[in-house]
Homo-oligomer: A and B are copies of this chain.
């Protein structure tokens, strides 16, 4: 059962906006709480009454079935009620501002607002103005902190630790909120991080954050404990940054041949949805080192932890 020791330091954040700025004990509390909730998912009845009578609003200004569904299921497991609002339905299309929409959601006594938004900082903007808990489900190229949480939860579960591991993040780092959140979380927990990809998408400047940058995948492959592939996102990329897909696969695709050079225990991760034959070969995606589907399962537990801690935080309601 989920019963955080009462002698623990109390959780006080009502919002979960990004990994950056959280203290190490907070990050570890999130991971530990996720572990407790993962156990709930193995039961016959997967629900706990923790958030009964609370309302979560999934407010997705950018579409994402995957993340929306994961939050919706996490809320159901916690016995919360869920309302889904997508941008095309919402008053935003009638010219209402984000702030007005959010204040209206709060006036409807929503307890938790899960926001996916194309602008960096959108969830912070709301969180500062609302009493409701605001959970960042991806804001522009800024952060996607629940994705990082589930990624690192998966690493910790599979490899028993995070500290001291060498994690390679591969792909379009420049525009990736997943990469940013992962980088912050991994460094905070003591991992070593290498960012790898085309020089246009992985500029050297990232090294100021405390990681290594390389453009030579084949050199770094045999040294990785974890390789986390990002999705090639046609939508968000401007042509001038990106080589052709065929060229990308040749230089940075995790082909069967390349995967053979990984350490035997190296984890292969991907936030999905995968482009088979582009950034990853089917044999690798479905292979023994792949934990891609476990990431999805762990996303539920990680999101339950976030909702549970933030919506239960002192003074939230």
Chain A contacts to B: CB under 8 angstroms? 41, 43-47, 52-55, 57, 63, 65-66, 69-70, 72-73, 76, 81, 83, 85-86, 89-91, 94-97, 100-101, 103-104, 106-109, 272-276, 293-297, 299-300, 317
Residues B73 and A107 in contact, CB atoms below 8 Å apart? no
Residues B44 and A297 in contact, CB atoms below 8 Å apart? no
Residues B109 and A273 in contact, CB atoms below 8 Å apart? no
Instruction: Chain B residues near A54: list those with CB within 8 A.
Output: 46
> Closest Cβ of chain B: how far from A80's Cβ, in Å?
10
Most chain B CB within a 10 A radius of its CB, from A81, A97, A108: A108
Instruction: Chain B residues near A86: list those with CB within 8 A.
Output: 89
Instruction: Chain B residues near A300: list those with CB within 8 A.
Output: 108-109
In angstroms, Cα B46 to Cα A90, docked, is 25
Q: List 19 A-B contacts (CB under 8 A).
A: A43-B53, A45-B53, A46-B53, A46-B109, A47-B52, A55-B73, A65-B85, A66-B91, A72-B83, A73-B83, A73-B109, A96-B274, A97-B276, A104-B296, A107-B296, A107-B297, A108-B297, A109-B297, A109-B300
In angstroms, Cα B300 to Cα A45, docked, is 24
In angstroms, Cα B108 to Cα A54, docked, is 22
Residues B108 and A90 in contact, CB atoms below 8 Å apart? no
Instruction: Chain B residues near A95: list those with CB within 8 A.
Output: 273, 275
Instruction: Chain B residues near A293: list those with CB within 8 A.
Output: 103-104, 106-107
Given A69-B108, A104-B296, check contact A45 B52 (CB 8 Å).
yes
In angstroms, Cα B95 to Cα A134, docked, is 31
Q: 8 tightest CB-CB pairs across the interface, nearest first? A: A107-B296, A45-B53, A96-B273, A91-B273, A107-B293, A76-B81, A65-B90, A47-B53
Instruction: Chain B residues near A76: list those with CB within 8 A.
Output: 55, 81
Instruction: Chain B residues near A296: list those with CB within 8 A.
Output: 104, 107-108
In angstroms, Cα B89 to Cα A89, docked, is 13
Instruction: Chain B residues near A81: list those with CB within 8 A.
Output: 73, 76
> Closest Cβ of chain B: how far from A95's Cβ, in Å?
6
Contact of A272 among B55, B104, B299 (CB under 8 A): B104
Instruction: Chain B residues near A63: list those with CB within 8 A.
Output: 89
Instruction: Chain B residues near A101: list those with CB within 8 A.
Output: 273
In angstroms, Cα B117 to Cα A294, docked, is 26
> Closest Cβ of chain B: how far from A298's Cβ, in Å?
9
Residues A73 and B108 in contact, CB atoms below 8 Å apart? yes
Instruction: Chain B residues near A107: list those with CB within 8 A.
Output: 293-297
- Taking CB as reference atom, which chain B residue is nearest A84? B84
Instruction: Chain B residues near A108: list those with CB within 8 A.
Output: 69-70, 73, 296-297, 299-300
Residues A65 and B91 in contact, CB atoms below 8 Å apart? yes
- Taking CB as reference atom, which chain B residue is nearest A88? B63
> Closest Cβ of chain B: how far from A116's Cβ, in Å?
13
In angstroms, Cα B297 to Cα A304, docked, is 27
In angstroms, Cα B46 to Cα A53, docked, is 5
Most chain B CB within a 10 A radius of its CB, from A293, A295, A299: A293
In angstroms, Cα B300 to Cα A101, docked, is 16
